[in-house]
């Protein structure tokens, strides 16, 4: 056997099938890509730690069909070609056949990304999103199906963002747990424009440590170099992976993974969700040492810390924000920007000149109230009492206006339309929902 043959892992047959249930930790992988034999190789580790011949897992039509189904479920907007998922699906068989052939032969090239801006809660700035075409989203999804398990295997435990079986609530629980254990000195880190500044060469170098298929790496590079159509102007970004692209969350986690492991090796307690992370320490001295290491690592990695938003906080006397919550004095509440966004949504549904009936207005509020409570139900109890009161005042103001009177729903309006009036009409009460949630936890 030649040396070059020995250095490569055993070939995984494209026709290999799942012969049984996947190990629990890999139940989420795409079965059209990850066969039982591939999962075994993933568990045991491939020779040299690098994967070869992956492109033939990306381009098969069965993989692209699964990828399109995921894209269609997300119901995203059309890209620069104005093709919607419905339009793409109308000729699905031929579209996927052509796409598969282009990927197999190397003819595939991504189209430009359409730049779209969305408001930032509590700010006059707008957040830039990149919207790829449906065609490119299908390919990115197929590529993610192939690459994600390879890198997920070695991601750090304290990373929670955009990972299978993990989410914001897990990260928040972890932060609260460490605060109760006495880790009250917080390094609150803000990476300035992280998604737009990831160095391409550094990212591809990290990926090449696990992936040796040049065609796959070239495909990732093509996505990184996609043109961006911003209004009438088109340009090619030199850094970054646009938010809104299917592959971006995985790429962002890959680039920060070395920092995750560095912090763990140095003994620091870190909780990260995408580019939002905190280091929890027992002393101010430890926090300053951690910040110094982060400053050194980010400078070396070509990233920038926000000069004013990155800071050290004593959580016993000051507050810090993380994933929509403000932590302060052993409690948490919705941060100001989260509350502003929520109230803006409620205001849009409770305008005084609304022509809808009160039952219809109340009905329109319920999805917003239930969804908001599901995420923020761990806030301090007075949060819900205050918001309930504010919502009822807005409804009273509508009723006053319809009676030909002005007012903000206070004073005599409280007697004319007491809290029970809205309860009888089925208004969702955040305070009641919180009380019921607390009771269920105590049982």
Model pLDDT for residues 274-284, shown as the tens digit of each residue: 999 999 999 99
CB 424: neighbour CB atoms within 10 A? 9
Residues 422 and 392 sit within 8 Å (Cβ to Cβ): yes
Average per-residue pLDDT in the chain?
A: 91
Indicate if the pLDDT at residue 161 is higher than 90: yes
Measured distance CA(136)–CA(322) in Å, rounded: 33
Per DSSP, the residues of 37-102 read HHHHHHHH--GGG-B---HHHHSSHHHHHHHHHHHHHHTPPP-TT---HHHHHHTHHHHHHHHHHH
Comparing CA positions, the residue from 272, 278, 382 lying closest to residue 334 is 382
pLDDT in tens, 35-68: 999 999 999 988 889 999 999 999 999 999 999 9
Q: What phi and psi values does residue 81 have, to the nearest 5 degrees?
A: -90, 0
Range picked from 76-80, 290-294, 410-414 for highest mean pLDDT? 290-294
Measured distance CA(411)–CA(151) in Å, rounded: 60
Residues 427 and 418 sit within 8 Å (Cβ to Cβ): no
Residues 322 and 187 sit within 8 Å (Cβ to Cβ): no
pLDDT at 202: 98
pLDDT at 4: 38
Q: Mean pLDDT throughout 114-133?
A: 81
pLDDT at 126: 78
Eight-state DSSP code of residue 107: -
Residues 324 and 376 sit within 8 Å (Cβ to Cβ): yes
Q: Mean pLDDT throughout 314-334?
A: 95
Q: Mean pLDDT throughout 186-202?
A: 96
Least confident of 88-97, 130-139, 404-413: 404-413
Indicate if the pLDDT at residue 18 is higher than 60: no
pLDDT at 5: 37
Question: Is 129 exposed, middle or buried (CB count within 10 Å of its CB: 0-12, 13-18, 19+)?
Answer: middle
Strand partners, 97: none
**Beta strands at 325-328 and 320-322: parallel, antiparallel or unpaired:** antiparallel
Least confident of 65-74, 123-132, 381-390: 123-132
Indicate if the pLDDT at residue 15 is higher than 50: no
Q: Mean pLDDT throughout 386-406?
A: 91
pLDDT at 1: 37
Q: Mean pLDDT throughout 136-151?
A: 98
Indicate if the pLDDT at residue 103 is higher than 60: yes
**Beta strands at 228-230 and 233-235: parallel, antiparallel or unpaired:** antiparallel
Q: In the structure, what pLDDT confidence band is assigned to residue 8 with cuts at 50, 70 and 90?
A: very low
Q: In the structure, what pLDDT confidence band is assigned to residue 12 with cuts at 50, 70 and 90?
A: very low
Q: Mean pLDDT throughout 1-30?
A: 53
pLDDT in tens, 215-224: 999 999 999 9
Q: Which residues have C-beta within 8 Å of that of residue 174, sequence separation ≥ 6?
A: 158, 160, 271
Question: Is 82 exposed, middle or buried (CB count within 10 Å of its CB: 0-12, 13-18, 19+)?
Answer: exposed
pLDDT at 439: 80
Measured distance CA(433)–CA(107) in Å, rounded: 56
pLDDT at 6: 36
Q: What phi and psi values does residue 318 have, to the nearest 5 degrees?
A: -135, 175
Measured distance CA(207)–CA(213) in Å, rounded: 10
Residues 181 and 72 sit within 8 Å (Cβ to Cβ): no
Q: Which residues have C-beta within 8 Å of that of residue 292, sequence separation ≥ 6?
A: none
pLDDT at 123: 65
Per DSSP, the residues of 317-352 read TS-EEETTEEEETTEEEE-HHHHHHHHHHHHHH--T
**Beta strands at 228-230 and 113-119: parallel, antiparallel or unpaired:** parallel
pLDDT at 70: 97
**Beta strands at 331-334 and 185-190: parallel, antiparallel or unpaired:** unpaired
**Can you tell me whether residue 423 is helix, strand or coil?**
helix
**Can you tell me whether residue 15 is helix, strand or coil?**
coil
The CA-to-CA distance between both ends of the chain, in Å, stands at: 65
Eight-state DSSP code of residue 310: -
Strand partners, 331: 328
Per cent of the chain over pLDDT 70 is 93
Measured distance CA(89)–CA(366) in Å, rounded: 33
Q: Mean pLDDT throughout 87-94?
A: 98
pLDDT at 23: 62
pLDDT at 120: 72
Q: Mean pLDDT throughout 324-342?
A: 94
**Can you tell me whether residue 108 is helix, strand or coil?**
coil
Q: What phi and psi values does residue 406 have, to the nearest 5 degrees?
A: -105, 160
Q: In the structure, what pLDDT confidence band is assigned to residue 17 with cuts at 50, 70 and 90?
A: very low
């Amino acid at each position: 056997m030649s040396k070059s043959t020995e250095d490569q892992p055993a070939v995984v047959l494209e026709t290999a099938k799942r012969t049984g249930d996947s190990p629990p930790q890999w139940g989420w992988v795409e079965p059209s890509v990850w066969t039982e034999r591939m999962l075994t190789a993933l568990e045991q580790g491939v020779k040299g730690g690098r994967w070869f011949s992956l492109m033939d897992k990306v381009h098969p039509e069965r993989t692209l069909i699964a990828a399109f189904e995921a894209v269609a479920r997300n119901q995203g907007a059309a890209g620069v070609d104005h093709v919607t998922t419905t339009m793409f699906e109308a000729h699905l068989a031929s579209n996927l056949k052509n796409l598969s052939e282009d990927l197999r032969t190397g003819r595939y090239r991504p189209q430009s990304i359409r730049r779209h801006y969305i408001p930032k809660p509590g700010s006059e700035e707008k957040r830039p999103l990149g919207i790829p075409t449906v065609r490119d989203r299908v390919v990115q999804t197929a590529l993610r199906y192939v690459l994600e398990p390879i890198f997920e295997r070695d991601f750090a435990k304290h990373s929670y963002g955009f990972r299978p079986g993990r989410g914001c609530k897990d990260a928040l629980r972890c932060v609260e747990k460490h605060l109760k254990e006495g880790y009250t000195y917080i390094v609150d880190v803000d990476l300035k424009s992280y998604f737009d500044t990831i160095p391409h060469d550094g990212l591809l170098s990290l990926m090449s440590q696990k992936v040796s298929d040049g065609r796959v790496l070239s495909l990732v590079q093509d996505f990184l170099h996609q043109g961006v159509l911003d209004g009438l102007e088109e340009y090619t970004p030199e850094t970054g992976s646009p938010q809104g692209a299917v592959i971006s969350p995985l790429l962002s986690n890959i680039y920060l993974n070395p920092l995750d492991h560095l912090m763990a090796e140095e003994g620091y307690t870190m909780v990260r969700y995408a580019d939002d992370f905190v280091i929890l320490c027992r002393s101010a001295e430890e926090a300053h040492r951690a910040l110094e290491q982060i400053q050194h690592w980010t400078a070396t990695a070509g990233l920038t810390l926000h000069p004013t938003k990155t800071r050290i906080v004593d959580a016993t006397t000051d507050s810090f924000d993380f994933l929509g919550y403000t932590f302060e004095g052993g409690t948490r509440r919705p941060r100001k920007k989260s509350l502003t966004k929520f109230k803006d949504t409620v205001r849009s549904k409770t305008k005084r000149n609304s022509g809808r009936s009160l039952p219809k207005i109340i009905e329109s509020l319920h999805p917003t109230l239930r969804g908001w409570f599901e995420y923020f139900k761990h806030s301090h109890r007075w949060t819900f009492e205050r918001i309930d009161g504010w919502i009822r005042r807005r409804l009273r103001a509508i009723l006053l206006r319809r009676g030909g009177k002005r007012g903000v729903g206070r004073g005599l309006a409280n007697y004319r339309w007491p809290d029970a009036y809205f309860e009888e009409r089925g208004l969702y009460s955040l305070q009641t929902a919180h009380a019921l949630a607390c009771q269920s936890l105590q049982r």
